[in-house]
Amino acid sequence: AMPKLQGFEFWKTTLKGARYIVAPMVDQSELAWRLLSRRHGAQLCYTPMLHAQVFVRDANYRRENLYNEACPEDRPLIAQFCANDPEVFVQAALLAQDYCDAIDLNLGCPQMIAKRGHYGAFLQEEWDLLHKMISMANEKISVPITCKIRVFPEIDKTVKYAKMLEEAGCQLLTVHGRTKEQKGALTGVASWEHIKAVRKAVGIPMFANGNIQYLSDVHQCIEETGVEGVMIAEGNLHNPALFEGRSPPVWEIAEEYLEVVHQHPCSLSYVRAHLFKLWHHTLQIHQELREELAKVKTIAGMAQVSQELKKRCQEELANQVEGEKPAGGLLFPHWICQPYVRPGPKDVQCENGKSTALAKSVCVKRALEVTEGSSEFLSKNKQKKKARNPNKNFNLEQKPKYIKCEQCGNPKGNKCVFSLCRGCCKKKSYKEMADCPGHGLLFKTKYEKSLKWNSGLAEGQGLLRSLFLPIENFTITERFPAEMGPAETR
């Protein structure tokens, strides 16, 4: 085999010098969306984040997320995994390497599920483990290993971190200029300063991620930070033609996407999510169609809602008054693809005292309303739960305090004989061969039953032997004549 390409060679040759990149987005960067994005200027795409452990274990998961989707127009493509075990990461990469141009290790996911699963941005303090994962994969995998990271608050620590990954064998680095705490209501502005510092310090190609709403931001980012390319996520979902510098009417993109989905089917939930993002501004106005889009159960149904939205927008377009400003503080009328800037708590002042469009994009999802227990303050989700169970109480102050398990601090089982949670109780009951009726664990009972059964079996066998005593004296061939062949082959 040819030696694999490294760093800049890999970026120039395999990735064809890609500058415009679509991020790995869970449930959102599926094949159909990637193909749509490529038609509109994206030069490199990533798969959604795949779980290495599941990828190794489950052939269906491999088929659904990578194998079945192999499609010549969908290259260059980087497959992204989350993992926290070098062996598992290598196994997953070996299974994926023939279907992509590089394997990316996700060190940027800040979500709660990543914290629970111990992966993504929650590995960023475990440098020895990361070094081992990357260097082992770099040795054994036939395609380059790349990484996507978030920054630390301190620039110098971020630079050290990046250099460690490079030294371990990372061939391309994507830096998302936010810390792992900057998500949801605290998203804030990504720091290009951190990205610039890393770019100066490492000798591998680099992509920047964060703060991109228009093509002009992409060029400004490349100029200010010196990176090779820019990766977009949210901006691409609201306007997949961003890299062409166009803001087309939403229906044009929606129709084209549905056409691609027709050729490359994907999960209904992905399609729904994409249409919600594309039509975001219009659905604020036509609330009843929003409900409709949430309910329909088929792609055809979704296409119909999209058609109805198009019809209403075109009527509005026909009745537009010359020079009228778009409603809702938008830059363009709501039926044009444009970024969704989450309202910030207040305008953030930038370094030079001016508040910029980027600063305004401090994304703050609506503050969690203080629930007064009255339903008008409950989110839709909580209202649904309340409808199912009218006695449900969302007030944290009044929630019963749980008694903790003596060993691990999780809530203990109410009727547990050992005062433990189920997990700890199971270990203890098994070790001590005890029962805990509270948790439905009957190790002792089952053990005693098995003893009884075995002794009964032994008695029964004794009885059988006395009945068929002469059988023991037969030779084996008399019982099984030669023509039956040796015992092993039967």
Residue ranges making up the domain that contains 443 = 403-450
What confidence score (pLDDT) does residue 282 get?
A: 97
3 state SS of 271: helix
Residues 105 and 235 in one domain: yes
Judged against a pLDDT cut of 60, whether residue 356 lies above it is answered with no
Nearest to 210 by CA among 81, 353, 361: 361
Is the same domain home to 294 and 209? Answer: no
125-131: long-range contacts, CB 8 A cutoff, minimum separation 24: 127/161, 127/164, 129/84, 129/86, 130/105, 130/164, 130/165, 130/168, 131/164, 131/165, 131/167, 131/168
Short-list 379, 362, 370, 357, CA closest to 185: 362
Strand spans (E) along 194-313: 206-209, 229-232
Q: Rounded CA gap, 243 and 245, in Å?
A: 5
Residues 171 and 293 in one domain: no
| List 109, 170, 221, 337, catalytic entry | 109
How would residue 361 be classed by pLDDT, with cut points 50, 70 and 90? very low
Give the pLDDT score at 221: 97
pLDDT at 360: 40
| Residues 401-419, mean pLDDT to the nearest whole number | 85
**Residue 46 DSSP symbol:** E
233 belongs to a structural domain: yes
Does 413 fall in a domain? yes
Q: What is the pLDDT of residues 246-304, one digit of tens each?
A: 999 999 999 999 999 999 999 999 999 999 999 999 999 999 999 999 999 999 999 99
Is 480 inside a domain boundary?
Answer: no
Secondary structure element (H or E) that encloses residue 57, with its range: helix 52-57
226 and 78, same domain (yes or no):
yes
Is 26 inside any structural domain?
Answer: yes
- Kindly tell me if the per-residue pLDDT of 341 is higher than 90: no
Residue 364 lies in a domain: no
The letter for the amino acid at 444 is K
Higher pLDDT, 205 or 352: 205
CA dist 58 to 50, 52, 100, 116, 467, Å?
12, 10, 19, 21, 52
211 and 297 housed in the same domain? no
- Encoded amino acid at 50, one letter: L
Convert 422-461 into a string of H (helix), E (strand) and C (coil): HHHHHHHHHHHCCEEHHHCEEHHHHHHHHHHHHHHHHHHH
pLDDT score, position 473: 52
Give the pLDDT of residue 138: 98
pLDDT confidence tier of residue 413, bands split at 50, 70 and 90: confident
Residue 223 lies in a domain: yes
What does the alpha-carbon distance between residue 247 and residue 79 come to, in Å, rounded to a whole number?
Answer: 29
φ/ψ of residue 228, rounded to 5: -80, -35
Task: Name the residue with tokens 């190609």.
Answer: 205
pLDDT, position 367: 35
Asked whether residue 352 is assigned to any structural domain, the reply reads: no
Residues 199 and 299 both lie in one domain: no
**Whole-prediction pTM:** 0.73
Instruction: Count the neighbouring beta carbons within 10 Å of the beta carbon of residue 102.
Output: 27
Q: Which of 289, 307, 341 is the last residue of a domain?
A: 341
- What pLDDT, in 10s, does the model give residues 87-132? 999 999 999 999 999 999 999 999 999 999 999 999 999 999 999 9
Residue 473 lies in a domain: no
Residue 461 pLDDT class (50, 70, 90 cuts): confident
For the cut 80, the answer to whether the pLDDT of residue 474 exceeds it is no
Q: Which residue has the higher pLDDT, 421 or 403?
A: 421
pLDDT digits over 50-67, tens only? 999 999 999 999 999 999
Q: What is the mean pLDDT of residues 454-466?
A: 78
pLDDT-derived band at 385 (thresholds 50, 70, 90) equals confident
Mean pLDDT of the chain: 88
Cα-based angle 114, 120, 340 (whole degrees, multiple of 5) = 80
Check residues 220 and 409 and name the one with the higher pLDDT. 220
Q: Cα dihedral sign for 32, 35, 37, 40?
A: negative
Q: Are residues 80 and 141 in the same domain?
A: yes
pLDDT at 363 over 60: no
Residues 299 and 261 placed together within one structural domain of the fold:
yes
Model confidence at 362, in pLDDT bands (50, 70, 90)?
Answer: very low
Res 471 pLDDT > 90:
no
Higher confidence at residue 138 or residue 490? 138
C-alpha triplet 372, 376, 378: angle, nearest 5°? 65
Judgement on whether residues 242 and 271 belong to the same structural domain of the protein: no
pLDDT digits (tens, 9 = 90+) for 209-253: 999 999 999 999 999 999 999 999 999 999 999 999 999 999 999
Please give the tally of structural domains in the chain. 3
pLDDT value of position 1 = 63
- Which 8-state DSSP code applies to residue 404? B
Kindly give the residue spans of alpha helices, DSSP state H, lying in 118-177.
127-140, 155-168
Q: Is the pLDDT reported for residue 179 higher than 50?
A: yes
Query: 7: Cβ–Cβ under 8 A, 6 or more apart, which residues?
Result: 171, 172, 203, 204, 205
In Å, what is the CA distance from 440 to each residue of 414, 431, 432?
Answer: 12, 16, 16
User: CA 371, CA 257: separation in Å to the nearest integer?
Assistant: 39
Which among 19, 40, 18 has a CA at the least distance from the CA of 238? 40
Q: Around 194, how many Cα atoms within 13 Å sit in the side-chain half-sphere?
A: 27
In a shared domain, residues 440 and 409: yes
Assess contact for 87 and 96: CB atoms under 8 A.
no
Same-domain pairing of 69 and 116: yes
Q: Which residue has the tokens 């380059």?
A: 144
Cis ω for the linkage preceding 76 (within 30 of 0): yes
| Last residue in a domain, options 213, 246, 279 | 246
Q: What percent of the chain has pLDDT over 90?
A: 69
- Annotated catalytic, 421? no
Residue 328 is predicted with a pLDDT of 81
Co-location of 104 and 236 in the same domain = yes
Question: Does the pLDDT of residue 178 top 60, yes or no?
Answer: yes
CATH number at residue 173: 3.20.20.70
C-alpha to C-alpha distance for 276 and 111, rounded to whole angstroms: 21
pLDDT in tens, 303-321: 999 999 999 999 999 998 8
pLDDT at 185 over 50: yes
